[in-house]
């Protein structure tokens, strides 16, 4: 299978866009320029679309148009995706590793995706960019992410470090402290909770995006 064919196959299965650097890491292709050339060729042939992502890097996606909010999964937005990338980068700096979205195949054949993991699967991360108070359904979503971390970790050896990354103190309140059963459960299950400080302009854009979603 050629590099171009591998790129198309990967993008088709992943369901989202990836920049050249990410593709090179995910497909273990070196030099990175090989990915760049393959993606340019695929673009000329009309197989994929290349556009500038939130961080300024060129993103490769299947199809002829840039993804819009209406085509993203429920609850997702460009602002949230950009913020989660920042969260992963900041968490990676604190943990001393590079974190990227990762699909993991369990021993039972179930494929599951985590928001972030290092190359050797020694760290698994779920990130949540929500700002402000948390509604019951949103709290359940975070706890569902925590359950996923525990489950996937139980299938790996050595067992990886599990980290839940949030980006707002108010949003993190139900998962921190001494009197919250959710916080106690996370501690007992070995899940660390990190609160990452986002730039003010990113926070403002997130709040605007949340207002659009919940109005």
Per-residue confidence in pLDDT tens, the chain, 215 aa: 899 999 988 888 776 788 899 999 999 998 889 999 999 888 888 888 887 776 678 888 875 434 443 334 444 567 888 889 899 999 999 999 999 999 999 899 999 999 999 999 999 999 999 999 999 999 999 999 999 999 999 999 999 999 999 999 999 999 998 889 999 999 999 999 999 999 898 899 899 888 876 65
- Fold for domain 3-67? Arc Repressor Mutant, subunit A (1.10.10)
Name the residue among 85, 4, 100 with its Cα closest to residue 48.
4
- The CA distances from residue 191 to 114, 157, 194, in Å, are 14, 17, 10
Residue 155 neighbours by CB under 8 Å, 6+ apart: 106, 107
Hey, what long-range contacts does 75-78 have (CB within 8 A, 24 or more apart)?
75/213, 77/209, 77/212, 77/213, 78/54, 78/209
Neighbours of 164 (CB within 10 A): 24
CA nearest neighbour of 89 among 37, 129, 121: 129
* The listed CATH number (3.40.1350.10, 3.40.50.1460, 3.30.870.10, 3.40.50.1980) that belongs to domain 78-214: 3.40.1350.10
DSSP H or E stretch at residue 114: strand 111-117
pLDDT of the residue at 133: 93
- The alpha carbon torsion through 141, 147, 152, 155 (nearest 10 deg) reads -170
Q: How far is CA 17 from CA 1, 35, 50, in A?
A: 21, 14, 9
Residues 6+ apart with CB under 8 A from 209: 77, 78, 79, 80
Per the CB < 8 A criterion, the answer to whether 35 and 22 are in contact is no
* pLDDT at 102 (0 to 100): 92
The token duo for 29 is 């292709």
According to the model, what pLDDT value does residue 88 have? 93
Instruction: Indicate whether this model's pTM tops 0.85.
Output: no
Q: Where are the domains of the chain?
A: 3-67, 78-214
**Residues whose CB falls within 8 Å of the CB of residue 135, separated by 6 or more in sequence, listed in order:** none
Q: What is the pLDDT of residue 75?
A: 44
């Amino acid at each position: 299978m050629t590099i171009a064919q591998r790129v198309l196959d990967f993008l088709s299965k992943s369901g989202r866009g990836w920049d050249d650097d990410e593709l090179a890491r995910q497909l273990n292709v070196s030099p990175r320029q090989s990915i760049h050339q393959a993606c340019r060729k695929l673009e000329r042939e009309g197989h994929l679309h290349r556009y500038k992502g939130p961080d300024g890097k060129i993103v490769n996606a299947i199809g002829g148009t840039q993804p819009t909010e209406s085509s993203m999964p429920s609850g997702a937005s460009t602002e949230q995706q950009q913020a989660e990338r920042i969260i992963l980068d900041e968490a990676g700096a604190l943990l001393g590793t590079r974190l990227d979205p990762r699909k993991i195949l369990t021993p039972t054949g179930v494929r599951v995706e985590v928001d972030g993991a290092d190359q050797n699967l020694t760290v698994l991360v779920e990130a949540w960019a929500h700002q402000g108070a948390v509604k019951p359904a949103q709290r359940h979503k975070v706890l569902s992410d925590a359950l996923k971390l525990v489950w996937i970790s139980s299938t790996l050896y050595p067992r990886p470090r599990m980290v839940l990354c949030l980006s707002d103190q108010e949003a993190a309140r139900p998962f921190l402290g001494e009197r919250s059963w959710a916080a106690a459960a996370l501690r007992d299950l070995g899940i660390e909770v990190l609160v990452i400080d986002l730039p003010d302009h990113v926070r403002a854009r997130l709040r605007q995006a949340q207002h659009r979603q919940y109005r």
